[in-house]
Amino acid sequence: MISERLYTFADFVCKTLFEPLINLIDDKKKKKPLFLSPSNSEMDFQVVILAGGFSSNLAPLVSKEVPKALLPVANRPVLSYVLDLLESSNLKDLIVVVEGEDAALTVGGWISSACVDRLHVEVAAVAENVGTAGALKAIAHHLTAKDILIVSGDIVSDISPGAVAATHTRHDAAVTAMLCAEPVSGPAESGGAGGKDKIKKPACYDIIGLDSSKQFLLYIATGVEVKRDTRLKKSILCAAGKMEIRSDLVDSHIYAFKRSVLQEVLEQKPTFRCLKQDVLPYLVRTQLRSDVFSDEKAVEENGSGHGKNNMQNNDGVSSQILSNAFLPSFHKVYESGLDIRKTHKCCVYIADESKYCVRLNSIQAFMDVNRDVIGDANHLSGYSFSAHHNIVHPSAELGSKTTVGPHCMLGEGSQVGDKCNVKRSVIGRHCRIGSNVKVVNSVVMDHATIGDGCSIQGSVICSNAQLQERVALRDCQVEAGYVVFAGGEHKGETFARK
Amino acid sequence: MESRRNPRAVVDPKVRQVGFFTSSQPDSTYQPDPIASESHPVVSSISPSGNSLSPVMIPPPRHNSSDTFPLRAAAAASAVSPSSFSYSTRRDFPDGSMTASPGRVSRASFSKPSSSLPGVGMDSMAAAKSSSVPASGLTTVSVVNMPPGLSGTVTCFKVVDLVLLDSQCLVYQIAEKESDQKKNSKPLKEKTTKAERRALQEAQRAAKAAAKAEGGKAPLVSSGSVASTNVKVTKPAKPSSQKNDVAAVAAGPSEKKGGQAEKDRKKDAPHPRMQYDDESRVVKAKRRAVVKQTEAKNRVELFRHLPQYEHGTQLPDLETKFFQLDPMHPAVYKVGLQYLSGDISGGNARCIAMLQAFQEVVKDYSTPSEKTLNRDMTAKISSYVSFLIECRPLSVSMGNAIRFVKNRIAKLPITLSESEAKAALQSDIERFINEKIVMADTVIVKHAVTKIRDGDVLLTYGSPTAVEMVLLHAHELKKKFRVLVVDSRPKLEGQLLLRRLIKRGINCTYTHINAVSYIMHEVTKVFLGASSVLSNGTVYSRVGTASVAMVASAFRVPVLVCCEAYKFHERVQLDSICSNELGDPNAISKVRGREDINYLDGLTNNANLQFLNLMYDATPSDYISMIITDYGMVPPTSVPVIVREYQKEHSLV
C-alpha cells in the first residue's frame, strides 16, 4: 500500500510541479477548452464539490492519509461516487474544494490518478474550519457561470443533479435545494445495540416548510436549531396561504445557486459559515424582501437588449405580456399586491422516494452507506454481484469451511483463514484474517490484520490496524494503524492514539 | 376536396380525416393518381405534404405543377436534413476562450507546499479579494484531452443550390444527379427496391407490434398498419405519386447523399400535424423524441389523432436529462421546460418567450467549420422547434414566427460576415416582437377603445392579453364601463386578469361560464381573444370561447375579437376536432386545493372512464361581429384578404 501511495504521490507532485510549465508552453492549443468549461457552460452551470477535510464527526476513521472524501465505501472512496454521478450527467468540469492543504494534496493525488482523461477536475484548498460558506467564499472569484451547482462530496446517491438544475432554471430561482426522504438509519436488523446507536446519532432531521405546490421552500431549519419553538415569517405564510411542514425530508446538500445571489450573500454576511444552516435559511427568510436582487435585473436587461431607448418601452410591454402569462407563484402575487419590493424564489426539488441518497457525515452513516451500497442500493457500487449477492475478488483466498454471506465484499488479495464467518461486511484489500473469525455488520479497511478467534460486530477497523488473537469488538472503531491487544472484550469503544 | 371523391380501396381504419388539411396522411385521403395530381394544380397546392416543421398549413407553392416531382423529392429530403447538422461539438474552438475566465487559471499552489501556510501560496490577487477567508487557488488535477477530430464528423452534401421558397419555408436541397434521376428509370428502380425493403421491414415491425398487442383491437390495428404498408410497397413504382408517403420517396435521394444514421433520423422526422392514431408513425416519432412520451391510456376515441401523454412522467424525465442534451441551447431548454410544466401559456407570451430564446441562440451561435450559416442555423432552429413541439404543440402564432425566423435566415445575403448576420437576425427577431406583437397590440387598443362607450358592460372570457390592454387603456381614458370576467375551470386564468383589473380600479364582476347565459342579458359588448383566426373567419381560441360567442349572438350582443394579424392563418377549419390540443386529464379530474372532493381518485386508470381536457375550440364566423386587428376593424369575411396581404408583406420584409 505504501508503495502504491508513494507512486501516486510522486505522480501528483510531478504533475503539479511541471504542469504550469507545460501550460505555459502549449497554453494556446491545449488549455483553452478548460476555461470554456464546455459541458457545463452549455447549460451555464459550474459545479463545486465540497469535499470537506478531516471531519471531526468521523474522528477515528479519518486520518492524515485518509481525509473524509477518501473514506472507502465498498472499497471505493466516497468521492468517486459523487464524481461518477456527475460524470453520468455529463458534468465533466468540476471544482473540488478541500479543507486543509494536506487533505487537498491527498485528495488531488487520488483524483489525478483515478480520473485523468475522464474528468477535468480542479482542486482548491481552503483553510480548515471555514465552513461550507467560507469555502465557497474563498473560491468565489473562480465562479463565473450564471448558476452554480454545489454538491457535497460525501453524498452517495443516484439522483440526477440535472433535475435540480432543471428545476432551478425553470423557475429562475435564487436557490434550489434538493430534498430527499430521510434515509433509513440504524444498524442492520440483526444489530443488537439499536437503542444505544440512536442515542449516539445526532438528531439530524430538518424541519421544512413547503408551499401547496411543493415547489417552493417557505421555511427550513435543521434539527439542531429547533429546540422547542421556532419562528415563521408571517409575511411568507400570508403570501403563500398554506404551508406544509415536513420533517420526513432531509436536505441532501445538493444546491443550485444563482451565482450573483450566492456571491452577494457571502459578501454581505461575512459571519455566515455554513450553507445549510446560515445561507439557505437566510435566503428563505428574506425571499419576500430580497436584498440580493438589487436592481441587477434592470442592468441585465439593458445589457442584453440593444440599448436603444426607443425600444425600452416596447421591451417593457413585451415583458409585461410575458409576466402576465406566467403562472404566477405566490411571489408574483405578493409583489403585485404591494409596492415595488423585490422577491426571489427558493425552490426545492423533491427526489423520488425510490432514489437513494445518503450523506456520509457520521460513523453511523458510514456504516449505513457501506451496508446499503453492497446491499439494497448495490446498483451504485458499480460492481457486478455474484449469484450469492456478494463480491469476492478472484484473488482473495478463503480458507476451508469459511462462509461469506450475501451482501458482503472481499477486496483483492485478502486472505481469510479457516472456519470464518463473514456477514454483511466489507473487507478491504490485502487484509489478513485468521481462522475462526466472525465478522458481522462491519467494515474492515485495507491491510488490516485480524488474529485468530476474533469476533467483530458492527465495528470499523481502519487500514493497517491490527487485532491480536481472540479480540471481541462490538460497535467499536479502531483507528488506522492501531494495535488492539489480545484477548480483550470491548463494547462501544473508540481505539485511537491520544 | 376533389380527391376525396375516389377513396382508395385500402384505407387505414384508424385514420380519421376531417376537413381537408390533414396532410400527414395524404395516402389515404388523396388518390395518388399521377394524372389527377398533375392535371389539378389545386389539389397539389392544397396538399404539399408539409415537410417543414411549421405546424401550420403551407400556402400554395409557387411552382409549376407539371414539374412537381423533383421538388417533391427534394422537399422530402430536406424535411429531415436538419438532423444531419444538429450535432455540434462544443470543443470546436480551442482558441478564443482563454480570456473567458482568467480567474480560473490553474495555479499549482502545491508546488511550494512546505513554505505555504493555508492561503499564502495563492495568487496575490485572489488573496486580496477575499476579506475574512483567504482565497484559494485551483489546481488542475485531472484533464480531459479531447481527440482532435471530434468536430469534423460532418457528412458533406453535394449541394448545388440552396433555394428557399419564401412562402413555404422549405429548404430544397437539390443533389447533383437529381435531374438525371428523374428521367433515368434505372435509379428509380433502385429506389423502388430500397423503398420496398423499408416497407417490408415496417410491415414486419407492425406485425410484431400487433402480435404483442392484446385485446380485441389488436387484429384491427395490425391489419390496418399492414395494409397501409402494403400501399406503400406499391407506391414508389409510380414515379409521380408525390403525395404518397413522403418518407418512402425520401429514401431515394437520401440514400444517394447521406449516411445510414442520417437516413434513420430523416425518416423519423415528425410531421407537425402528425396523426397520433397511426401507430407506426407514433412509434417512429417516439424513437427520436427527446421528451419521454408515455401515451395516456384511456383516450377519447374521437380525439385519438391528437397527442396525449401521461403528464406526470414527462417533466421529471426531461429534468433528469438536463445536462445530457448536448445540442440544446439552455434558453430553448428553459422555454421548453416552461411550456411543459405549464408555467407559461398564452399565444403571445409563448411566442415572445420562444423568440427571445431564439435570440439567445443567435447570440451564442457560431458557424461550425465547413458549414454555412444559413443552412446550419436553419437546421439548428428546426431541431429546437421539434424539441419545443415535444414539450407542447406549437400555436399558430409560434408557427408563423418560426416561419418568419427561418425565412430571415435563409434570406441573409451570403456576403454578410457572421457577426453582421447574427446582428441582423437578432434585430429582425426583435423587430418581429415589436412590430407584430407589441405595436400590433397598441394599434388594436387604439381601435378597440373607440368601441367602448360610457355605461358599457363588457364581457370577456379567460385572460386575453389584447383585451386586457384595451380595458386598461379605456379606463385610463376615464371611460365609465363595467367588466364581466367569465372564467372556466381548470385553468381559472380569469382570476389573474380580474386581479389586475381590480388593482387598476375597474369595476368587475366575476362568474364562471356556467352562468354566462344568465349574465349575458346585461352585457353590451363581448371582447374575446384568439389563438388564431383562420381564413374562413373561424376564430380558434381557448375552449369555451365558442359558447360565449354563441350565447352572445343569441342575445344579439356584438362579439368583438381582438387578435394580432400575425396569428392569422390561411388554413380553413370547420370544427375543433381535427386540430386541437389535449391538456392534462388530471387537471379536470382533480380540484386544486380541495382534497375533500376526490370522487374520481383511483378511477383514472379505469378502462370505462376517459378524460377529455380540450384546450381550444373553433368559433364559427357567424357569431363574430368584428375582428379587431392591427390592420383595423374588419368583419370575419375579410380575414382572407388580410392573410393574403400579410403574406405578401411577409415575403417582402
- How close A450 comes to chain B (CA, Å)? 36
Amino acid present at B386: S
Q: Chain A: give the shortest CA distance to residue B431, in Å.
A: 10
Integer Cα distance of A325 and A480 in angstroms: 62
| The predicted structure's pLDDT at residue B161 | 37
Contact between A122 and B100 using a beta-carbon 8 Å cutoff: no
Closest approach of chain A CAs to the CA of B356, in angstroms?
A: 10
How would residue B521 be classed by pLDDT, with cut points 50, 70 and 90? very high
Section B292-306 average pLDDT: 73
Chain A partners within 8 Å of B350 (Cβ):
325
DSSP character string of B11-53: --TT----SS--TT-HHHHS---HHHHHH-HHHHHH-----SS
What pLDDT, on a 0 to 100 scale, did the predictor assign at position B518? 92
Residue B548: per-residue pLDDT: 95
Predicted pLDDT at B136? 62
CB spacing of A141 vs B139 below 8 angstroms: no
Chain B: give the shortest CA distance to residue A95, in Å.
Answer: 8
Q: B360: Cβ–Cβ under 8 A, 6 or more apart, which residues?
A: B329, B330, B331, B332
Of the candidate ranges A153-162, B12-21, B282-291, the one whose mean pLDDT is the lowest:
B12-21
Residue in this structure with the C-alpha cell 491545449, named with its chain if needed: A30
**φ, ψ at A447 (rounded to 5°):** 65, 20
Which of A317, A330, A340 best tests the B interface by mutation, with the highest count of B CBs <10 A? Answer: A317
Question: How many angstroms separate the CA atoms of B529 and A151, rounded?
Answer: 47
Instruction: Give per-residue pLDDT as tens, B374-392.
Output: 888 888 899 899 889 888 8
Is B441's CB within 8 Å of A317's CB? yes
Residues of A in contact with B94 (CB under 8 A): 28-30, 32-33
Which of A126-130, B116-120, B478-482 holds the top average pLDDT? B478-482
CB contact under 8 A, A324 and B500: yes
Locate the chain A residue with the closest alpha carbon to B132: A270
Give the whole-angstrom CA distance, residue A268 versus residue B146: 41
Angle (nearest 5°) at CA B578 between B577 and B582: 65
Contacts of B90 in chain A (CB under 8 A): 36, 38-39, 41-42
Nearest-angstrom CA–CA distance, B533 and B540: 6
Chain A CB contacts of B422 below 8 Å: none
ipTM comes to: 0.74
Is it the case that residue B20 has pLDDT exceeding 60? no
Q: What percent of chain B has pLDDT over 90?
A: 22
Residues of B with Cβ-Cβ distance to A171 under 8 angstroms = 343
Question: Which of B135, B142, B441 minimises the CB distance to A111?
Answer: B142
Sorting pLDDT into bands at 50, 70 and 90, what band is B46?
A: very low
Cβ <8 Å between A35 and B144: no
User: What is the CB neighbour count within 10 angstroms for residue B30?
Assistant: 28
CB-CB under 8 Å, A111 with B323: no
Chain A residues with CB inside 8 Å of B463's CB?
324
- Starting at the earlier edge strand, list the strands of the sheet with A244-246: A217-222, A206-210, A244-246
d(CA A52, CA A126) in angstroms, rounded, equals 9
Nearest-by-CA chain B residue for A321: B349
The pLDDT, as a whole number, for residue B580 is: 87
Q: What values do phi and psi take at A490, rounded to 5?
A: -125, 150
Q: pLDDT value at position A469? A: 87
Residue B190 CA to residue B236 CA, distance in Å, equals 10
> For cell 386598461, what's the residue?
B472
Query: What is the nearest CA distance from B495 to chain A, expressed in angstroms?
Result: 11
Of A95, A170, A314, the CB nearest to B438: A314
User: By 3-state DSSP, what share of chain B in percent is helix, strand and coil, each rounded to 5?
Assistant: 50, 10, 40
B138 to chain A, closest Cα gap in Å: 4
CB contact under 8 A, A105 and B95: no
B219-229 b/e (C-beta count within 10 Å ≥ 16 → b): eebbebbbbbb
Distance from the Cα of residue A289 to its chain's centroid = 31
Q: Is the pLDDT of residue B155 over 50?
A: no
Confidence at B322, pLDDT banded by 50, 70, 90: confident
Q: What is the pLDDT of residue B407?
A: 87
Q: Hey, are the CB atoms on A122 and B140 less than 8 Å from each other?
A: yes
Q: What is the distance in angstroms between the Cα of A290 and the nearest Cα belonging to chain B?
A: 22
CB contact under 8 A, B330 and A108: no
* Residue to substitute from B143, B337, B339, B355, interface A, most A β-carbons within 10 A: B143
Which chain B residues are Cβ-neighbours of A163 within 8 angstroms? 316, 319-320, 322
Average pLDDT for B408-432: 88
pLDDT at B450: 93
Tell me if B141 and A121 make a contact (CB, 8 A cut-off): yes
With b meaning 16 or more CB within 10 Å and e meaning fewer, what string describes B128-147? ebbeebbbbbbbbbbbbebe
| Among A106-110, A301-305, B12-16, B339-343, the range of highest mean pLDDT | A106-110
The mean predicted confidence, pLDDT, of chain B is 68
Compute the average pLDDT of residues B42-47: 41
Q: Among A199-203, A277-281, B106-110, B496-500, name the one with the lowest average pLDDT.
A: B106-110
Enumerate the residues of chain B whose CB falls inside 8 A of the CB of residue A12.
141
Q: Which residues of B touch A165 (CB under 8 A)?
A: 322-323
Position B76 pLDDT exceeds 60? no
Residues B247-263 have a mean pLDDT of 41
Q: Is the pLDDT of residue B215 over 70?
A: no
DSSP reduced 3-state for A264 = helix
Strand, helix or coil at B139? strand
What pLDDT does residue A87 have?
Answer: 86
Cβ distance A32 to B593 less than 8 Å, yes or no, reads: no
- Of B135 and B324, the one with more pLDDT: B324
Specify the pLDDT at position B372: 83
Is the CB of A35 less than 8 angstroms away from the CB of B101?
Answer: yes
Question: CA gyration radius for chain B?
Answer: 28
Higher pLDDT residue, A8 or B310?
B310
pLDDT at res. B544: 93
Cell of A92: 465533466
| Selected residue with higher pLDDT from B519 and A45 | B519
| Chain A residues inside the 8 Å CB shell of B109 | 125
**pLDDT for res B95:** 44
- Name the residue in chain B with its Cα closest to that of A130: B133
State the smallest CA–CA distance between residue A362 and chain B in angstroms. 26
Identify the DSSP state of B170: E
| Nearest alpha-carbon partner for A412 in A434, A428, A399 | A428
Question: Which of B136, B338, B501, B595 best tests the A interface by mutation, with the highest count of A CBs <10 A?
Answer: B136
- What distance in Å separates residue A363's CA from the closest CA in chain B? 28
- Which of A42, A120, A162 comes nearest B143 by C-beta? A120
pLDDT over 50 (residue B225): no
Q: Note every long-range contact of B575-579, with CB atoms under 8 Å and residues 24 or more positions apart, other chains counting.
A: B575/B18, B575/B19, B575/B618, B576/B540, B576/B543, B576/B546, B576/B614, B576/B616, B576/B617, B576/B618, B577/B18, B577/B302, B577/B303, B578/B16, B578/B18, B578/B19, B578/B21, B578/B22, B578/B305, B579/B19, B579/B21, B579/B273
Residue B34 has pLDDT above 80, yes or no: no
Beta carbons of B133 and A91 less than 8 Å apart: no
Question: What percent of chain B clears pLDDT 70, i.e. is strictly above it?
Answer: 54
**Residue B208 pLDDT > 60, yes or no?**
yes
Angle between helix axes B246-257 and B260-268 (nearest 10 degrees) is 160
Which residues in chain A show pLDDT less than 50?
1-41, 187-202, 294-312
The phi, psi pair for A50, rounded to 5°, reads: -95, 100
pLDDT band at B633 (very low <50, low <70, confident <90, very high): very high
Mean pLDDT over B490-498 rounds to 87
Residue of chain B minimizing CA distance to A211: B593
Indicate the DSSP class of residue B289.
Answer: -
pLDDT at B559 over 90: yes
Q: Which of A97-111, B1-15, B287-301 has the lowest mean pLDDT?
A: B1-15
Q: Answer yes or no: do A123 and B138 touch at CB < 8 A.
A: yes
DSSP codes of every residue in B440-494: HHHHHHHHHHTT--TTEEEEEES--HHHHHHHHHHHHTT--EEEEEEE-TTT-HH
For residue A324, which residues of chain B lie inside 8 Å, CB to CB?
346, 349, 463, 465, 468, 496, 500
Interchain CB distance below 8 Å, A36 and B352:
no
